[in-house]
Amino acid sequence: MKHFVLAISLLLTTALSAQNLDKQEFVDGFATVKGSIKGYDAGKMDDAEFLVSIANPFFDDEEELTTEINDDGSFEIQVPMSVKHQIVSYELQSNIGKIVISSGKTVVMDFDFNSLLNDDDLPPTFSGENIDLNNALASGFTGDYHRSVTFHNRNAAQETGDMTPAQFKDYILKKYDEYSKIVDTMSVSARAKEFNGRKF
């Protein structure tokens, strides 16, 4: 447990030192997620709802929020925020993904109904806030930092189990540096690369 806490502290210290994004902080506000479905026909959709799942960092719990799709294919949902930026999951029919939302800001997602009828799981078109981050998430560019340093891997647990705190610090920083080099090669915006290094 001490190793895990040290790793998180190092990660935050390293990542926040040269950030472009607004500083992450606790807030009491709302983010708006809204959008439309091109060619929407309520009779052809089994579940005419848009769902957002958001984690509450205070209770280590997830809350699911839903809103009905209007007859014209539009939807809008207010998401309560306890931190300034957060990655949330969304679901519409069989279309499932993740988006970055920010307190006081609006993310707009436009879907094509014809693509929702297929199993292709095509991403929406984004506008509003965090376009570059959400396009990057939808493209599947994100590697999982925890997976890259193998916190939850049994072999890694054996590898790091006998390390002193100083050795573990060097191990985490080396893994973070290796991961950062991978992020640098990704064909997304600098802001998305930075956010990937901070959050995933």
DSSP string, 72-95: TSEEEEEEEEEESEEEEEEEETTE
Domain 26-138 annotated CATH 3.40.50: no
Domain residue spans in the chain? 2-22+142-199, 26-138
pLDDT level of residue 6 (50, 70, 90 thresholds): very low
Q: Note the pLDDT of residue 119.
A: 53
Q: Note the pLDDT of residue 200.
A: 38
Stated pTM of the model: 0.68
Does the pLDDT of residue 141 top 50, yes or no?
yes
Nearest C-alpha neighbor of 43 from the set 113, 125, 115: 113
